[in-house]
């Protein structure tokens, strides 16, 4: 785990952590950056996964990690259900589909909100044959 300013590029084996400075902005974020580049967010002594809607949209369009792919998949599902989710997987996650689906299973099992849990189950069901 390494603390990184917003907009960092992944190089090597680490997971970036953004420091939450409020209003969904990471420390060091420029004016044009609207979310967290890193999948993990630290506020004080608490560390958590960033929700898909809190992530920087540019990361979802050009994913660098499997966590980026997971959040992009969830957001794609929200825009057009199974069709969009399958399209996202086809375009950006084809070679990592099994890893992304495994992360989605963990997300679905561990997410605390019931609506997000149901959403994860729906995505998994829609991707069953993928």
If asked whether residues 50 and 73 sit together in one domain, one would say: no
Average pLDDT, the chain: 85
**Domain end point (choices 55, 78, 94):** 55
Q: Which residues pair with 3 in a beta bridge?
A: 17
If asked whether residues 49 and 69 sit together in one domain, one would say: no
pLDDT at 31 over 50: no
CA distance 55 to 72: 9
Q: What digits encode the pLDDT tens for the residues 33-55?
A: 678 888 888 988 999 988 999 99
Q: Is the pTM of this model over 0.95?
A: no
Domain assignment of residue 15, given as a range: 1-55
Which segment of 5-9, 74-78, 112-116, 121-125 scores lowest on mean pLDDT? 5-9
Q: Read off the tokens for 63.
A: 């994913």
If asked whether residues 69 and 51 sit together in one domain, one would say: no
If asked whether residues 15 and 37 sit together in one domain, one would say: yes
Residue 17 pLDDT grade (very low, low, confident, very high; cuts 50, 70, 90): confident
- Strand stretches in 2-83, DSSP E: 2-3, 16-19, 40-43, 46-49
If asked whether residues 50 and 68 sit together in one domain, one would say: no
Phi/psi for 40 (5° steps) reads -110, 145
What pLDDT, on the 0 to 100 scale, is given for residue 23?
Answer: 58
* Residue 83 CB coordination number (10 Å): 12
Q: Which of 45, 6, 46, 7 is nearest to 26 (CA)?
A: 6
Q: Which of 36, 45, 44, 33 is nearest to 16 (CA)?
A: 36
């Amino acid at each position: 785990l390494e603390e990184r300013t917003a907009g960092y590029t992944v190089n090597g084996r680490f997971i970036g952590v953004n420091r939450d400075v409020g209003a969904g902005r990471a420390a060091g974020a420029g004016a044009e950056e609207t979310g967290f580049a890193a999948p993990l967010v630290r506020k004080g002594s608490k560390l958590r996964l960033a929700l898909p809607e809190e992530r920087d949209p540019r990361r979802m369009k050009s994913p660098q990690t499997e966590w980026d792919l997971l959040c992009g998949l969830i957001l794609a599902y929200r825009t057009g259900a199974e069709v969009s989710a399958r399209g996202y997987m086809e375009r950006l996650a084809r070679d990592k589909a099994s890893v992304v689906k495994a992360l989605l299973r963990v997300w679905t099992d561990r997410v605390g909100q019931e609506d997000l849990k149901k959403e994860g189950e729906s995505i998994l069901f829609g991707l069953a044959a993928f």
